[in-house]
Amino acid sequence: MFNWLSGLQARLTLGFAIVLALSIAAVSTYSAYATKLETEKFAQKIELARAERAEQLVRDTFEANQDWGEVQYAVQQVGNLFGWRVVFENESGLIVADSHQIAKNSQGLFESMGERFEKTTKFTKRPVLLNGKLIGHMLVDERPSHNERPLSIREFYNSPFAKLLAEQTTNKSFTPSPTQIPSTSTEKLVQEVLEYVDPPLSNLQTSFQRSLLIAGIVAGLGGLLLVMLLTRQALTPIRNLTKAASNLGAGDLTQRVHSSGGDEIGKLADTFNNMASKLETAIEHRKQLTADVAHELRTPLTNIQGYVEAIKDGVVSADEDVISTIHTQTIHLSKLIDDLRILAIADAGALALNKSHGSPIAVIEDSVADFRQRAREDNIDLKFSIKGTTTEINFDETRMRQIVSNLVENALTHTPNNGQVNVKLTGSDLGLELLVSDSGVGVSKTDLPRIFDQFYRTDQSRTRSTGGAGLGLTIVKRLVEAHDGEISVNSQPGYGTTFRVFIPFTQELTN
C-alpha cells in the first residue's frame, strides 16, 4: 500500500485530483456567485411585479366598492400571500388600511405614519392613481420583523376599528359579519389579481447549488477512476521497462520490451532495446576480445617456450636460425603488447601526440617507400601520387608513419600477386586527404561495419598469411581521430578496398 502511494501512478492521480478539485471549486464558486446575482435581479423583478399587482388590487378594490374596509381586506390578503407588511394611506397622509395592525387610537379612526411607526424609512412608497387622480399611497415593507404577524379577517371583524370604519364610511350601524366584508366582488378581484404565486427563488438557488455539488462529486469520482485506469495503462510499459532493466542488471542480456508506438514511452522502449542489443553485442565482443588476446599472446609464447625447452633438453642446438626465430617471435609479441598499450591509452583518452606544424608529404612518401621491396617480392605494383596544393597541418610524425604503414601493409596483405596498391595524397584548403586503394578480394557487407573493431579479422581462422592480430586498423582509427580527422572505408567484394583518411587544415601551433 505504501509503495503504491509513493509511486508515480499515485502522484499522477493525486495531481489530477487536486486539479479536478480546484476546477470544480472554481466552477462551483463562480456558478453560485453568478446564480446569486441573477437570482437577486430576478427577485427584484418579481417584487416589482408583486407590488404592481398589489397596487392594482388596492386600486380596483377601492374603485369597485368605495369602501376602505374592502381595501383593508385586500391588503391583508397581500400581506398573507407575499409575507409583506402593507400599509395604505390616503391623500391626506392618514392610514386607512394596514395588513398587520388595526388603529391604536380607539377614539379616532385614522392615524398618520409617524403616529403608528417609529421608523418609516423601511417602507417603499408607491403612489396609487385612480382615473388619473391620486387616492393615496401604498407603503410596503418586504421584510417585516418576525414578531409582526398579518391580521386575519376575523381579527378585523372583531375590532372596534371595523365598526368605526363602517359607521364613518357608510353612516350606518355596522355589525361585523363574515358575509359583509369582504364582498363578493372584492374576493373575485383578489382571486384574479393574486392567483399567480411566484416560486420561492431561494429554494431554486439552493436546489441548483445542491445539484451542482452532486454533479461535481460524481464527476470528480468518475474522473479519478478514469485517470487511475489511464495512468495504470500508461505506466505499464514503464513497469515492464523497470523489470527488464532489473533483469538486465542481473546479467540477463536477452531482455527486451514491447514498443508501444511513436510516443515518448515508445521511444524510451526502443532506446532500451537498442541499448540492450548494443550491450549484448559489446559483451560478446569482449568475450571474443579476451579469446583473441589469449590466442594472439599464446601463439608466440608457445613458440618461444617450445624452442627454449628444446634447447634446454638438448634436442635443438642454439644456432643462428633458432635464435633468429625466437627473436622474431619476441618482436611480434612485443609489437602486439605495444599495440594493446596504444589502444588502452587511446580508449582512456590519454593518447598524447608530439605534434609539429608542417607538410606531412615527405613522411607519408617515406612510409610508402619502406614497402616497395615487399611489393616487388610479391609482384604488386605499389604507386604513390600527389595532387592539389601543399597543405600544412599539425601532426605527430611517428603516429603519421604508423597510420600510413598500417594501411599500406593491410593493402599488400590482401592484394594477390600481380595486383595493384595505389596511395594517393590530395591537398586542399580544407585539409589533407589520403586514399589507400588495393585490387584485392575486398570486404563483404557483413564484415564492413566491423572492420575497425579490435581483433576483428575477415578470416576467422586467424592464419598469419591473411593478416596480423587484427589491431592495425583499430589503431589507425584511434590515431586519425587523435589528429581530429576521420577515416572511412569503401569496398566491393572481388574489386578491392579503398580506405580514406581526412585530416583537416589547422593553424600553426603556438607556444
In a domain, residue 15? The reply is no
Q: Which of 109-113, 134-138, 455-459 has the highest mean pLDDT?
A: 134-138
Of 158-162, 174-178, 279-283, the range with the lowest mean pLDDT is 174-178
> Any idea what DSSP says for residue 126?
E
Contacts of 308 (CB under 8 A, 6+ apart): 326
Higher pLDDT: 91 or 437? It is: 437
Separation CA 340–CA 167 (nearest Å):
136
pLDDT of 501 over the 90 cut: yes
Write down the residue that cell numbers 423601511 correspond to.
122
φ/ψ (deg, to 5) at 502: -125, 125
pLDDT of 43 over the 60 cut: yes
In a domain, residue 157? The reply is yes
Higher pLDDT: 276 or 425? It is: 425
Q: Are 295 and 460 in contact (CB under 8 A)?
A: no
Strands (E), 338-392: 355-358, 381-388
Grid cell listed for 484? 581530429
**In this structure, are 382 and 440 located in the same domain?**
yes
Domain count, the chain: 3
- Note the pLDDT of residue 381: 92
- Note the pLDDT of residue 178: 40
Q: What is the mean pLDDT of residues 323-336?
A: 82
Which amino acid does the sequence have at 258?
H
In a domain, residue 19? The reply is no
CATH number for 417: 3.30.565.10
pLDDT of 70 over the 60 cut: yes
Residue-wise pLDDT tens digits, 247-279: 888 878 788 887 766 667 777 788 888 888 888
Sign of CA dihedral 95, 100, 104, 106: positive
Torsion angle (degrees, nearest 10) of CA 323, 328, 333, 339 = 150
Separation CA 204–CA 266 (nearest Å):
52
Of 153-167, 194-208, 436-450, 453-467, the range with the lowest mean pLDDT is 453-467
Q: Please, is 475 exposed, middle or buried when counting C-beta atoms within 10 Å of its C-beta (0-12, 13-18, 19+)?
A: buried
Q: What is the mean pLDDT of residues 348-356?
A: 79
Q: What is the mean pLDDT of residues 364-376?
A: 91
Q: What is the mean pLDDT of residues 154-178?
A: 52
- Note the pLDDT of residue 111: 77
In a domain, residue 63? The reply is yes
**In this structure, are 493 and 368 located in the same domain?**
yes
In a domain, residue 324? The reply is yes
Q: Domain containing 296: what range?
A: 264-347
Higher pLDDT: 382 or 447? It is: 382
CATH number for 50: 3.30.450
Confidence of residue 25 (pLDDT cuts 50, 70, 90): confident
Long-range contacts (CB closer than 8 Å, 24 or more residues apart) made by 73-77 = 73/153, 73/156, 73/181, 73/182, 73/186, 73/190, 74/182, 74/186, 74/189, 74/190, 75/99, 75/138, 76/150, 76/151, 76/152, 76/153, 76/156, 77/190, 77/194
**In this structure, are 146 and 290 located in the same domain?**
no
In a domain, residue 222? The reply is no
Which amino acid does the sequence have at 373?
Q
Confidence of residue 500 (pLDDT cuts 50, 70, 90): very high
**In this structure, are 175 and 66 located in the same domain?**
yes
CATH number for 323: 1.10.287.130
**In this structure, are 293 and 383 located in the same domain?**
no
Of 44-48, 187-191, 377-381, the range with the lowest mean pLDDT is 187-191
Pick from 347, 365, 387: which residue ends a domain?
347
Query: What would you report as the CA-atom Rg of the chain, rounded to the nearest whole angstrom?
Result: 56
**In this structure, are 187 and 156 located in the same domain?**
yes
- Note the pLDDT of residue 189: 62
Per DSSP, the three-state class of 437 is strand
Q: Is the pTM of this model over 0.75?
A: no
**In this structure, are 93 and 73 located in the same domain?**
yes
Contacts of 255 (CB under 8 A, 6+ apart): 244, 245, 247, 248, 276
- Note the pLDDT of residue 122: 81
**In this structure, are 90 and 177 located in the same domain?**
yes
Q: What angle do CA 300, 336, 286 make, to 5 degrees?
A: 100
**In this structure, are 187 and 277 located in the same domain?**
no
Separation CA 331–CA 371 (nearest Å):
19
Confidence of residue 436 (pLDDT cuts 50, 70, 90): very high
**In this structure, are 329 and 378 located in the same domain?**
no
**Length of the chain, in residues:** 511
Pick from 202, 221, 236: which residue ends a domain?
202
- Note the pLDDT of residue 213: 73
In a domain, residue 377? The reply is yes
- Note the pLDDT of residue 171: 42
pLDDT of 445 over the 80 cut: yes
**In this structure, are 59 and 184 located in the same domain?**
yes
**In this structure, are 327 and 375 located in the same domain?**
no
Q: Which of 29-38, 157-166, 450-459 has the highest mean pLDDT?
A: 29-38
Of 122-126, 226-230, 271-275, 434-438, the range with the lowest mean pLDDT is 226-230
pLDDT of 210 over the 50 cut: yes
Q: Are 114 and 120 in contact (CB under 8 A)?
A: yes
- Determine how β-strand 381-388 pairs with β-strand 133-141: unpaired
Confidence of residue 106 (pLDDT cuts 50, 70, 90): very low
Pick from 330, 347, 364: which residue ends a domain?
347
pLDDT of 92 over the 90 cut: no
Residue-wise pLDDT tens digits, 132-146: 888 888 888 888 877
Higher pLDDT: 474 or 423? It is: 423
- Average per-residue pLDDT in the chain? 77
In a domain, residue 184? The reply is yes
Percent pLDDT > 70 in the chain is 78
- Note the pLDDT of residue 461: 47
Percent pLDDT > 90 in the chain is 10
Q: What is the mean pLDDT of residues 480-500?
A: 89
Per DSSP, the three-state class of 431 is strand
